[in-house]
Every structure is written in C-alpha cells, then in structure tokens.
C-alpha cells in the first residue's frame, strides 16, 4: 500500500473487472450506433482509456476540462469550462465519462450545457458515485462503484495534482492534507 494511504478502497483488480463489465453493458446498449465519448479532464483519463478498450461499437473521443477543487477537498460550487470540445455534438450519441459524482454540480452543469447543443442522446458514465454528498440530482446511466463519503485518490483522481498514477483507489491519511 502507498505510504500516504490509510486504506485501499477499491483494488486494481476490482476496477479492471468492473470497467470491463461497464464496457460490455455500454456496447450492448449502443449496438449499431457510434458513440462520441466525452472525457472530463483530467481525472477521467485513466478510466476512459481502459473503458473504451472494452467498447466494441465505433467510438470517437473528445475532451472537456472544467474547473474543479484546486488544492482543497471542498467544492466551490462554481463550474467553469476551461477547455471545450473540438467538434460539434449535434446529432451524435454522446456519453460523458467522469471520474466521480460528488455534489453533482459539475455533471449537472455539463449535462445542461451539452444538452443545448442538440445531441441525438446524452448519457453519463462515472467510475465512482458518492450519493451521500449530492446537492443537485443527477441521472447517472452507468456507475462503476458507489463509495462512502471519503476523499479518494488514485486511478486518475488527484489530491493537489498528485496520486493520479496509483493503480488502486485509496483513502489518504488525514495528515497528508495538513502538510
């Protein structure tokens, strides 16, 4: 286990199994269609890379970046687009791929924003869901794991830009935040 970790919440193997399952489910649901997968930078990048390799319908990729927590673990509630999509989504089947739904503010904003661009369909896939912290309701179509109200890192998720490269999903020791 990483020295900064208090516990491993989800192992590399559990992630791999669940991501493969999600890919199979998405492939079934989108049979005969092409998906425009919209990854939310940077946290969803590792998840997206693994997920799309388990999807066997045609896939296009695009990315958005939105403002997030910065170096703290509390949501400001303010969402801002830092990088927008490079292509039109009009008439396309869009699947937003996110790392985690916490308050729901980020996804609610993205969903409302992308819906105005007239996609043929718009669904959400998230690796993690922390329903205990929700401030606004969000309809999640595909969810990897429901987790308790803990700040997690690893497999793309960071604290102050660190730990994204860890293969498991971990809860950090409290003293790490006080450094």
**Catalytic amino acids?**
102
Considering the complex, what minimum distance in angstroms separates the CB of residue 33 from ligand 5GP?
26
Considering the complex, what minimum distance in angstroms separates the CB of residue 65 from ligand 5GP?
11
Q: Which residue from 3, 42, 1, 40 is spatially nearest to 161, judged by alpha carbons?
A: 42
Peptide bond into 100 cis (omega under 30): no
With tokens 């998906």, the residue in question is 35
Q: Which is nearer to ligand 5GP, 19 or 96 (CB)?
A: 96
Q: Which is nearer to ligand 5GP, 117 or 164 (CB)?
A: 164
Beta carbons within 10 angstroms of residue 82's beta carbon: 10
Considering the complex, what minimum distance in angstroms separates the CB of residue 138 from ligand 5GP?
8
Task: Report the alpha-carbon distance of residue 93 to residue 119 in Å, rounded.
Answer: 6
With tokens 């092409």, the residue in question is 34
Q: Which residues ranging from 126 to 165 are in contact with ligand 5GP (CB under 6 A)?
A: 151-153, 157-159
Q: Which is nearer to ligand 5GP, 42 or 54 (CB)?
A: 42
């Amino acid at each position: 286990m990483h020295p900064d970790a208090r516990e491993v919440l989800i192992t590399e193997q559990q992630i791999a199994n669940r991501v493969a399952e999600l890919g199979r489910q998405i492939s079934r649901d989108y049979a005969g269609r092409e998906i425009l997968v919209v990854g939310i930078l940077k946290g969803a990048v590792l998840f997206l890379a693994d997920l799309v390799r388990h999807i066997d319908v045609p896939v296009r990729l695009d990315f958005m970046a939105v403002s997030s927590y910065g170096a703290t673990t509390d949501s400001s509630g303010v969402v801002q687009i830092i990088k927008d999509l490079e292509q039109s989504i009009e008439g396309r089947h869009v699947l937003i791929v996110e790392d985690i739904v916490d308050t729901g503010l980020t996804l609610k904003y993205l969903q409302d924003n992308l819906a105005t661009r007239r996609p043929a369909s718009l669904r959400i896939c998230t690796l993690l869901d922390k329903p205990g912290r929700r401030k606004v309701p969000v309809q999640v179509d595909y969810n990897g794991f429901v987790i308790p109200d803990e700040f997690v890192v690893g497999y793309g998720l960071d604290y102050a830009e660190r730990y994204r490269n860890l293969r498991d999903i971990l809860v950090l020791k409290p003293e790490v935040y006080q450094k």
